[in-house]
Structure 1
Amino acid sequence: MRIERLGRVPYLPTYEAMRAFTEARIDTTPDELWLCEHPPVYTQGLAGRPEHVLAPGDIPVVATNRGGQVTYHGPGQVIAYPLLDLRRAGLYVKTYVHRLEEAVLRTLADWGVTGHRVAGAPGIYVRLDAPHDHAALSGPRPGGDPFAGLGKIAALGIKVHRHCTYHGVALNVAMDLSPFARINPCGYAGLRTVDLATIGVAADPAAVREALATHLCALLAPCDPPRPNRAPPPRNADEPERR
């Protein structure tokens, strides 16, 4: 699997490039892992409902063909897009999603943080009162709220076309979290979104990016040695880049 470090690139051209790459692949096309960061943007999944976008303001909202509802991308967030042939890798979709989440769990563990899965809500969550507590979640959450006492630190959304994946996973490291308050993240009203900085972990996004890439390669497919960065996708005039 070739690793492409794209840097900070606008969302829409990156999405279009992923889709074009996937539609053009043949059986021998090497898999790729795109690592990047986006300027502020909201993205809607296929199941996205407009009422979950509360007050986007000047942040663009882009409709996509990934699964899931609305989420936010912005600087200080590490994004990984595996472009993987599942049939060649011998993976079913459910296993693939589980391994994406496992890569995030292992990355968080590198910084001493314990992540958790919540049944029926893809992504990774942390205990707000004890993010370093290794005890597993057990039993029903207080008040019947599956997210009680939890904050979402990583979002996941994928598309599979002819057994090949695109879109991927976003891990919050050190970002402005306020735009999450202008949506119902992933369709859940009141869901708290956090990053490593919020829970008291100082981490360099570049270091987190490389750790996540390492774990994704270990769980999905061997990766090539580092190569010079690919030129980023062209900027779309309708989506100005913010820095």
Structure 2
Amino acid sequence: MPINSIVIRQLNLCPWKSVSDAMHKYTIHRNNKSYDELWLVEHYPIFTQGRFGSSKHILEPTNIEVIKSDRGGQVTYHGPGQQIMYVLIDLKRRKISVHQLISILEQTVIKTLSYFKIRAHNRLDARGVYVKNEKICSLGLRISKGCSLHGLALNVTVDLTPFLIINPCGYANMKMTKIQNFDHDVSITKVKYLLVSEFTDLMNYNYIKWQ
């Protein structure tokens, strides 16, 4: 039955807009028999601006495309080497709130980072996951028809330079970090499987189908 089942899709490296369009299409057409899904993807370089985002957080001209998103939050950067996990979850069916899902996503990342001996934490005043005072994972969600879209972006081996020309997530002087700064041999494949394992465990899914 779909209520305790989830489908995992590995999309690899894809343009942001094509994945966003597909995510919205899935949500529009899903019903109570549709499976929850996790989409694992990396994006070509792009800045995305949340639906209430301000252009003032882009600090200088850039050749990297800036595109509007309907997720929450301000501006962030996506690029190869950043593991993105989009969570297409029927919250009503799972009987969890948006705040509970955010907490589960943060705990998913914190538990994943512990495998690399990285001590991480969340912040209630600025959602996401941090190592000391540096941000390693950003979160942004939208809820439609009681279902979630978008998800988390965890910096694994991504080039952090583009973050220098924005206020990441709307916070001036926010420093970013990545797993590679702590484990030079980290692979995004390993991170991907750890994220799925931790998330599905925290969400109590008992049937997991990889596609």
Smaller-chain TM-score bracket: over 0.9
Q: Give 1:200 shift.
A: 4.5
* Contact preservation (8 Å) 1:56, 1:183: no
2:87 to 67, 82, 87: 82
Please list the CA deviations of residues 113-165 of structure 1 after superposition, one character each: whole Å capped at 9, or x if unmatched.
111112210100002xxxxxxxxxxxxxxxxxxxxxx1000000000011100
Match of 2:3 in 1: none
Residue 27 of structure 1 aligns to a residue whose secondary structure is coil
Query: Distance in 2 between the 1:7 and 1:48 partners?
Result: 27
Query: Distance in 2 between the 1:82 and 1:115 partners?
Result: 21
1:112 to 117, 139, 149: 117
Work out whether 1:20 is the aligned partner of 2:3.
Answer: no
Counting only pairs closer than 5 Å after superposition, residues 1-243 of structure 1 correspond to structure 2 as 1-127=6-132, 150-222=133-205, 223-227=207-211
* Contact preservation (8 Å) 2:118, 2:182: no
* Contact preservation (8 Å) 2:7, 2:36: yes
Query: Distance in 1 between the 2:60 and 2:199 partners?
Result: 34
Counterpart residue type for residue 144 of structure 2 = H
Query: Distance in 2 between the 1:17 and 1:56 partners?
Result: 30
Please tell me the root mean square deviation across aligned C-alpha atoms, in Å. 1.2
How many residue pairs end up in the alignment? 205
Query: Distance in 2 between the 1:173 and 1:45 partners?
Result: 22
Query: Distance in 1 between the 2:184 and 2:120 partners?
Result: 13
* Contact preservation (8 Å) 1:76, 1:174: yes
Pick the structure with greater CA Rg: 1
* Contact preservation (8 Å) 1:196, 1:202: no
Q: TM-score, normalised by structure 2?
A: 0.94
Query: Distance in 2 between the 1:180 and 1:117 partners?
Result: 20
* Contact preservation (8 Å) 2:38, 2:87: yes
What percentage of residue pairs aligned between the two structures are identical? 38
Query: Distance in 2 between the 1:119 and 1:55 partners?
Result: 29
* Contact preservation (8 Å) 1:82, 1:168: yes
* Contact preservation (8 Å) 1:152, 1:193: yes
- The more displaced of 176-185 and 46-55 is 46-55
Q: TM-score, normalised by structure 1?
A: 0.82
* Contact preservation (8 Å) 2:116, 2:183: no
Please list the CA deviations of residues 182-240 of structure 1 after superposition, one character each: whole Å capped at 9, or x if unmatched.
1000001110001012234531011001100111111225242333xxxxxxxxxxxxx
Instruction: Give 1 or 2: higher strand fraction.
Output: 2
* Contact preservation (8 Å) 1:49, 1:69: yes
Q: Give 1:94 shift.
A: 0.8
Q: List runs of 5+ in structure 1 lacking aligned partners.
A: 128-149, 228-243
Counterpart residue type for residue 224 of structure 1 = I
Counterpart residue type for residue 51 of structure 1 = K
